[in-house]
Structure 1
Amino acid sequence: MDDLAARQAELVAALVAGGPVPPGFAPAPLAAARTALLRKRAGEVARHWPLLAASLGAGWTATFAGWAAGRPTQGSLRDGWDLARALRDRGTLPPLGAEELALREAGARYDGRRPPRPRRLPSLGRAGGAVAVQVAGRVRLLRPARRAA
């Protein structure tokens, strides 16, 4: 039974966490399954982060898949948050995504390790020039992100 559990863990790691192809599995079908799972995961994240996905347009799935390959999921909300922060840190976060990230940062505390928690005190969220404020549980965008001229 332990051998079966170990083989299943290897398969899951290969499919969702960038692990090597386990012995006995054909690489091409495994790669196709991995691609399909990343596409499905991108769709789930887009439902939680619609502005981020829309701001990346046709490149959304490829951008997400490139970032997510080799990373196990932390859930759709956290995956989107982590991707938005990674794009911000690289300077490639589009304005709509920056506004969505600023709103999330103002409304919740997220350290990248534990699930986000609502903020209780007034707070600011900033990303890509966008500024959002949370007061008394209401989050508002104060300043939109900079747009290219």
Structure 2
Amino acid sequence: MSGLADRQRALVAALVAGEDVPDGFDSAGVLATTAALRRKRAGEVARAWPFLAAAHGAAWPRVFAAWAAGRPPNGSLRDGWDFARSHGADLPELAREELAGREARFAYDGRSAPVPRGRVGAWLSRLRPGH
């Protein structure tokens, strides 16, 4: 692996997974970019989980960013699902209903992509390795 590839991998890990800023990069710039990426991620999750985001009001970007720190992105559906599950009984009613609706329509183990429930979902899960 080249030195450049290793530096790029380290930079991406710092930007999205909370790893240390690699030597040779401007820490303030990396931290500002990390904050912007978390705000963007919060917006994407809010579009996929509108009641979950609305339950937190104007604090949503901050609350989500705090939760997302150190967690690499898994897509807005999974990120919202993991966030909602991590808050459990503390979720407001509409957010709990939104989560319950997703739980009813999809099987999600917290590790791999959600799979639709029912005949089609069962068929698809047999096609996927590890299921």
Q: Normalising by structure 2, report the TM-score.
A: 0.87
Structure 2 residue 69 is the aligned partner of structure 1 residue 69: yes
Q: Which runs of 5+ in 1 are unaligned?
A: 122-149
Shift of 1:41: 0.5
Structure showing greater relative contact order (alpha-carbon pairs closer than 8 Å, 6 or more residues apart): 2
SS at match of 2:55: helix
Shift of 1:117: 0.8
Which among 106, 109, 119 is matched to residue 108 of structure 1?
A: 106
- CA-to-aligned-CA distance 1:48-92 (integer Å, 9 cap, x gap): 00110011111111111011011001111000000000011xx32
Structure in which a larger fraction of residues adopt helix: 2
Q: Which runs of structure 2 are paired with 1:21-60 in the superposition (5 Å)?
A: 21-60=21-60
Whichever residue aligns with residue 10 of structure 2, its letter is: E
Instruction: Kindly state the Cα deviation for residue 42 of structure 1 after the two structures are TM-superposed.
Output: 0.4
* Paired amino acid for 1:28: A
What CA distance in whole angstroms lies between the structure 2 residues aligned with 1:44 and 1:11? Answer: 22
Return the letter of the residue paired with 1:45: V
Q: SS of the residue aligned with 2:23?
A: coil
CA distance in 1: counterparts of 2:83 and 2:27, whole angstroms? 27
Matches within 5 A, 1:1-149: 2-88=2-88, 91-120=89-118
The share of aligned pairs that are identical, in percent, is 61
Q: What amino acid does structure 2 have at the position aligned with 1:78?
A: R
Q: Work out the number of aligned pairs and report it.
A: 119
Instruction: For structure 2, list consecutive stretches of 5 or more residues without a partner in the other structure.
Output: 120-131
CA-CA distance at 1:28 after TM superposition? 1.0
Q: Structure 1 or 2: larger strand share?
A: 1
Determine the C-alpha separation between the residues in 2 that align with 1:74 and 1:40.
Answer: 14
Q: Alpha-carbon deviation of 1:103?
A: 0.5
CA RMSD of aligned residues (A): 1.1
**Deviation by residue 1:10-69 (Cα, 9 ceiling, x = unmatched):** 000000000001001121111100000000000011110011001111111111101101
